[in-house]
């Protein structure tokens, strides 16, 4: 059974790509000597993360006897892949998941940000069968707001000069998993290990 699990996880990694520290690759960088006076530029920022709890890993993945989990923060959301390694089904309750921001504040999350004109869809329990995989995205509720054109999202972290001060900051994700009558709560803590700035030609 252990060999079978390792084989399935290997296929899963090959299919989706193993998680890396960087959430995205910046566009072509512009060297200072290539700047043109008749062009307009803006500064963008890219974050690098590492997992520091429950285990310190550069890859944003965790595995125990119950599940294999991959968590990849993006600009506006956190991608989540949960694989059931056990022989029994378990449930993920989206209403109980919490994101802990860099100031230690706890926030509920939206799943896939399924928004209606008058609010947010009800979030049901997700059943993950043995050897099954759940892939989804999470958006902290405090990053969602209503403007004149509808629903909009704020980035998870600053995309301004303030981003440079985020290096070394930590944030977390709390995911309770229910199997039969027991609940196991996973507390994942991430660290912003690096922040890089680069110029983008916008005109």
pLDDT, tens digit, for every residue of 109-167?
988 755 555 555 667 789 999 999 999 999 899 998 878 877 788 999 998 889 999 99
Tokens 């959430």 locate to 23
CB 106 within 8 A of CB 100: yes
Integer angstrom CA distances of residue 25 from 29, 48, 139, 162: 10, 10, 21, 20
Pick from 69, 93, 68, 88: nearest CA to 80: 69
Pick from 6, 137, 140: nearest CA to 68: 6
Give the bridge partners for 80, in sequence order. 71, 136
d(CA 146, CA 161): 26
Sequence-distant (6+) residues with CB within 8 A of 185 are 174, 175, 176, 177
- Residue 138, token pair as written in the block: 């999470």
What pTM does this model have?
0.76
pLDDT above 70: percentage of residues in the chain: 74
Q: Average per-residue pLDDT in the chain?
A: 81
Annotated domain spans of the chain: 2-201
**Which DSSP symbol is given to 27?**
S
What pLDDT is recorded for position 47?
A: 93
What pLDDT is recorded for position 100?
A: 96
pLDDT above 90: percentage of residues in the chain: 52
What pLDDT is recorded for position 155?
A: 92
d(CA 186, CA 114): 25
Confidence of residue 24 (pLDDT cuts 50, 70, 90): very low
pLDDT surpasses 80 at 22: no
């Amino acid at each position: 059974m252990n060999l079978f699990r390792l084989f399935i996880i290997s296929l899963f990694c090959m299919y989706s790509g193993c998680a890396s520290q960087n959430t995205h690759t910046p566009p072509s960088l512009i060297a200072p000597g290539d700047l043109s006076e008749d062009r307009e530029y803006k500064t963008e920022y890219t974050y690098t993360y590492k997992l520091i709890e429950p285990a310190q890993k550069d890859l944003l993945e965790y595995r125990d006897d119950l599940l294999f989990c991959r968590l990849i923060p993006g600009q506006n959301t956190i991608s989540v892949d949960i694989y059931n390694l056990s022989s029994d089904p378990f449930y993920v309750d989206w209403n109980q998941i919490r994101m802990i921001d860099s100031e230690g504040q706890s926030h509920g999350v939206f799943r896939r940000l399924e928004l209606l004109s008058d609010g947010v869809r009800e979030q049901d329990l997700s059943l993950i069968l043995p050897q099954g995989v759940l892939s989804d995205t999470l958006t902290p509720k405090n990053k969602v707001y209503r403007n004149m054109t509808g629903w909009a999202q704020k980035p998870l972290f600053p995309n301004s000069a303030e981003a440079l001060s985020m290096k070394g900051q930590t944030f977390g994700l709390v995911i309770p998993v229910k199997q039969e009558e027991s609940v196991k709560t996973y507390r994942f803590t991430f660290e912003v290990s690096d922040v890089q700035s680069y110029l983008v030609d916008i005109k």
